A and B are shown apart, each in its own frame.
Chain A
Amino acid sequence: MNLIRLNNLTKTYHVGELDVPVLKGISLSIARGELVALMGASGSGKSTLMNILGCLDRPTTGEYWLDGEEVSRLSTDQRARVRNQKIGFVFQNFNLLPRTSALDQVTMPLTYTAANLSERESREKAQVLLERVGLGDRIHHLPSQLSGGQQQRVAIARALVNNPPLLFADEPTGNLDSVTSREVLQMFQRLNDDEGITIILVTHDANVAAVAKRAIRISDGMIEAGAYGGTVEVTRP
């Protein structure tokens, strides 16, 4: 059962009179419970593909099936719902709200959830998640009082608060040192192994990609390797 299936997806930007094709027919599938790395040099169309996969942007043509739903033609509001319920985001620069406690960071996405939890329920849920990422004793800390690794873990807890089947991590270790990078990557692996959350790691770092079971390489708007399941060797340095 595939969580994600792309069928001949294209994206063309219009710059004045010019048509700039960025994605030139992408087809791929990702099964539930996979930990996939999405790799590519800058300018390869990696970011565009990531935005479309994350339902932040719409493809020009082609199909995008996510969790059994064709999402490529959804309206802005419907895509917001999909993002809220099915996708968690972890960013390179953490994107935490300034001067906001860890607990409030984690409960924030619940504000926009249709299935309403009471204030107490959402706090409890956030507490549990923060404990799971190892920050149970820092729930009232502000971002400025947390280290980079801790901040990223708060961001992970926030991404998980709606129990999404899909987790996007866009260069999650880009702003971290090697020790904390390893911790964060281990956390992704654990989430993938223990809870079967499908994780897409967007990176250009082979070290990061190494934790993935499969790497999808994209180059010049086309998939170079790893579009469909089966093992692909990731070269370790």
Chain B
Amino acid sequence: MRTAIRTFQTSLRALRRNIMRSALTCIGIVIGIAAVIAMMEIGNGIATLNQRSIASLGANNLMVRPGQAASGGVSWGAGSVMTLTPEDAEAVGRECPAIKAAAPEVRANGQLVYGNRNWVPMQITGTTPDYLDVRQWPVGEGSCFTDQDVRNSSKVCIIGTTIQREMFGTEDPIGKDVRLSNVSLRVVGVLSKKGATMFGSDQDDVVMAPWTTIKYRISGKASALSSAGSSSSGVDTSVNSLSNLYSSDAVTLYPVPSAIQQADTPQPIRFANINSIQVAATSTQEIPLAMKQITQVLRERHHLRDDDADDFQIQDMTEFLNTLAKTQGLISTLLLIVATISLVVGGVGIMNIMLVSVTERTREIGLRMAVGARARHILWQFLVEAIVLCLAGGLFGIMLGRGSSLLVRMLLKWPTAISIPTIVASVVVSGAVGIIFGYYPAWKASRLDPIEALRYE
């Protein structure tokens, strides 16, 4: 033990005797480790940025759809029962901690008319303002409709840029009234441009309105008719005057309110179904947790017994997630390669200097052997010198790397993050570099013949 301490002290003394050279030798490792730390931290920042941008494509999104109905063994396919309600969407958003936002979605089809132009939007979506959070889709001009609008089923909408181009041309659409399936809606905002989906459908060809407006004023009866085995039969109220032309209502027990009366004061609805719930998880890693929490909340709300099957399905963006994982894998592999190269360069530098040092100190080695140092004492002395150099270099490198990553954070505003495993690993690696590249010179020193070494000039 004491011999070990002595050897250590001897090595330290030797390093201190040549402090300038020791410092210069270190630089290789300092730069190597600094590069590793900075690369890892900045790389993490890039990964986070990357994750964010992929998340804006919808990688964090989940879609909850109603389950399927089956009669006599014949399935009606996904969405064939209406089991989801807007309250479900609210509950999911409120009660699941792994979820950033949740919004109901009601779909409709119809023709949009403004002045002498008309257009059939690819998508007409009824929802809440949270929908834009879920889709990470900011409003470009004007503003989104409000929760108040949703409660009042106000006749407002926001439109995508394609609609703006087709319907208004250069005209400013804000404040103008368009007619959707003969219901007049005031345009309050224009969404920013989102472009096409990965499959080529234009996402900007969209009209969004409060879900209550779409459900009760526009799609009205249509959605109720399509719901096979629906629990919401009889809920639909005829809003559109055109659908009253061929009314299916046989008996009227109460005075039927006129279309205008109905449109102005929609009936309070006890149960409303929606097409789906759009959900955004807080992060990509949280998706499995979010799915579990949604299942829990919905099963509870739907009063399902333990042995009942789910009456809904949750879908995630598997393709996106795989892409995300792949890009992140690529980034870390790249960083690892660069880091390894810089460490090898640093290690070779250490080895060169140690070899020079052994040659230069041949006489010293001879003397030490003459006064009784064994081969392994010499081996250890030089090995410890190399390891100490590398570890010291590693420590300075960590500081330098942290510093430069902080600089990047300050100047470029990249979200770099300290990575404890990287720091631990670089200490271990710099020690290992010392051992690997210090061994050969040390071994060479220990194999010197004391007689030759003492005579060396």
Contact = CB atoms under 8 A, between A and B. Distances in A.
B62 to A, nearest CB: 68
B17 A108 contact: no
Nearest to B364: A97
A89 B13 contact: no
A116 B3 CA distance: 8
B24 to A, nearest CB: 17
A77 B446 CA distance: 12
B148 to A, nearest CB: 82
Given A80-B369, A80-B374, A51 B10 contact: no
A51 B452 CA distance: 11
B373 interface: yes
Interface string B342-371: 000000000000000000000110111111
Contact of B370 (A81, A85, A89): A89
Nearest to A168: B370
Interface residues of A, number: 29
B7 interface: yes
A7 interface: no
Contacts of A97: 17, 364, 367
B454 to A, nearest CB: 7
A80 B364 CA distance: 15
The number of chain B residues touching the other chain, given as a range, is 20 to 34
Contacts of B7: 111
Interface string B2-43: 110011001001000110000000000000000000000000
Given A99-B17, A100-B13, A112 B451 contact: no
B130 to A, nearest CB: 72
Given A83-B371, A111-B7, A158-B371, A95 B454 contact: yes
B370 A56 contact: yes
A51 B451 contact: yes
Contacts of B373: 80, 84, 111-112
Nearest to A159: B371
Contacts of A84: 371-373
Contacts of A80: 369, 372-375
B194 interface: no
Q: Which of B2, B363, B370, B375 has the most CB of A within 10 A?
A: B370
Contact of B17 (A51, A85, A100, A110): A100
A56 B374 contact: no
Interface string B371-398: 1111101000000000000000000000
Chain B interface, >50% SS class: helix
Nearest to B366: A95
Contacts of B10: 108, 111
Nearest to B450: A56
A111 B17 contact: no
Contacts of B366: 95
A76 B375 contact: yes
A104 interface: yes
Contacts of B454: 91, 95
Contacts of A148: none
B23 to A, nearest CB: 15
Contacts of B3: 111-112, 116
A57 interface: yes
Interface in A180-198: none
Contacts of A12: none
Given A56-B450, A100-B17, A111-B10, A83 B370 contact: yes
A98 interface: yes
A85 B369 CA distance: 13
Given A51-B451, A57-B451, A97-B367, A112 B372 contact: yes
A109 interface: yes
A85 B373 CA distance: 11
A76 B376 CA distance: 11
Contact of A113 (B364, B370, B372, B375): B372
Interface string A66-80: 000000000011001
Given A84-B372, A95-B367, A100-B13, A111 B377 contact: yes
B377 A54 contact: no
24 contacts: A56-B450, A76-B374, A80-B372, A81-B372, A83-B370, A83-B372, A85-B372, A89-B370, A89-B371, A91-B454, A95-B454, A97-B17, A97-B367, A99-B17, A100-B13, A108-B10, A111-B6, A111-B7, A111-B373, A112-B371, A112-B377, A113-B372, A116-B2, A158-B371
Interface of A: 51, 54, 56-57, 76-77, 80-81, 83-85, 89, 91, 95, 97-100, 104, 108-113, 116, 158-159, 162
